[in-house]
Amino acid sequence: MRKGVRNWGPPLLLLSPTIIILGIFVYGLIAANVRVSLTNRTSLVPATEFVGLDNYIALLAEDRFLHSLANLAVFTVVFIAGTMLFGFLWAWMLDKGVSAEGIFRSVYLFPMAVSFVASGVVWRWLLNSAEGDRASGLNRILETFGLGFLQNSWWNEPTWGMAAIALPAIWQLSGYVMALFLAGFRGIPDELREAARMDGASEWKLYRFVIFPQLSPIALSALIIVSHMSLKVFDLIMSVTGSIYVTEVPATYMWVTLTSNDYAKSATIATVLLVLASVFIIPYLIQTARSEKANR
């Protein structure tokens, strides 16, 4: 018995500060947030009653919230497709062997070191939608190179505008995805490739049956990381456009309701966002836990 305590006691004691802090500041606050979302606290006046799921039902039926979800969907799809494509492409090219690989690696990875807010300020100017004489940023560049017909209104376009907002995000995170894939490529032993070539596999078959299967865990991690970042996107949008209807996503909508003292609605949006993020992350965690167990 005493032996048992000696076994698990010290580790538990060591972990307990983290457990306590996480318990209060993460899970405790999530619980507090959910509680507010179930009340009628729509102003500074304290809540008077629990309204159950009314706030959720109202929110999910609201055109404005559905619009923000649609914006988020466009952003997420373009962002994920863009980062995965460029990340893989760059990693593949670097893996093929180029001179001065270190320089290229840094160049591609570097945008990630810039904060979304700082790059957002620059992209706000680059993505200015004025055309013709008053054009600036990308539109001005296009015009100068005689590609004036390519000028467009960027994020000002009501339906697909969010795709333009995804550009800066792709620019910043492709390098990160590249680093992940590059690590994946390097983790594949040369013997496997050589063996496949010895067996007469074509280059395509080598990738299809040897490389890709070994990269899939990396691709999955990259996908999860990028997609949960996308769900939380807030700072980029705030610095490129501010909190306006055209580019509203749930996170900026939550900020608007918070600053207009509608605490219940704000908490409801926060909870919906958390659930959305969990939909991506929990299956991933389960899968990782399983594969770790299997490997042990």
Tokens coding 149: 């017909």
Q: Of 246 and 282, which CB lies nearer to other proteins in the complex structure?
A: 246
Distance CA 88, CA 90 (A): 6
Binding to other proteins by residue 140, rule CB under 8 A? no
Would you count residue 6 as binding other proteins (CB under 8 A)?
A: yes
Q: Greatest CA span in the chain, whole angstroms?
A: 83
What is the length of the chain?
296
Tokens standing for residue 204: 């395509």
Report which residue type is found at 251: A
Which residue, 95 or 131, has its beta carbon nearer to other proteins?
131
**Does residue 115 interact with other proteins by CB under 8 A?**
no
Among 133, 190, 191, 203, binds other proteins (CB under 8 A): 133
Question: Using CA atoms, how far apart are residues 23 and 28, in angstroms rounded to an integer?
Answer: 6
Beta bridge partners, 50, equal: 39
* Positions in 63-92 near other proteins (CB under 8 A): 64, 67
Q: Which stretch binds other proteins (CB under 8 A): 112-120, 154-162, 173-181, 208-216?
A: 154-162
Residues in contact with other proteins, counted by CB under 8 A, come to a total of: 43
Looking at the Cβ atoms of 70 and 109, the one nearer to other proteins is 70
Q: Report helix, strand or coil for 105.
A: helix
Does 20 sit near other proteins (CB under 8 A)?
yes
The C-alpha atoms of residue 40 and residue 16 are separated, in whole angstroms, by: 36
* Torsion angle of C-alpha atoms 243, 249, 255, 256, degrees rounded to 10: 60
How far is Cα 195 from Cα 209, in angstroms, rounded to an integer? 12
**In angstroms, what is the minimal distance from the CB of 176 to other proteins?**
28
Closest distance of CB 76 from other proteins, Å:
20
Give the Cα-Cα-Cα angle 56, 61, 64 (nearest 5 degrees).
105
Among 21, 53, 93, 282, interactor with other proteins by CB under 8 A: 21
SS3 label, residue 1: coil
Task: Report the nearest approach of other proteins to the CB of residue 117 (Å).
Answer: 12
Please answer whether residues 234 and 252 qualify as being in contact, where contact means their C-beta atoms are separated by less than 8 angstroms.
yes
Interface pick for other proteins out of 77, 109, 112, 130 (rule CB under 8 A): 130
* Residue 61 touching other proteins (CB under 8 A): no
Stretch that binds other proteins, among 76-84, 151-159, 165-173, 209-217 (CB under 8 A): 151-159
60 near other proteins, judged by CB under 8 A: no
Query: Minimum distance from CB of 234 to other proteins (Å)?
Result: 14
- Which CB sits closer to other proteins, 10 or 213? 10
CB of 254 closer than 8 Å to CB of 269: yes
Closest CA to 55 of 267, 232, 276, 256: 267
For residue 17, state whether it binds other proteins (rule: CB under 8 A): yes
CA 200/CA 149 separation, integer angstroms: 49
- Name which of residues 209 to 268 contact other proteins (CB under 8 A): 241-242, 244-246, 248, 256-262
Binding positions for other proteins, rule: CB under 8 A: 6, 9-11, 13-14, 16-17, 20-21, 42-46, 64, 67, 124, 127-134, 153, 155-156, 158, 241-242, 244-246, 248, 256-262
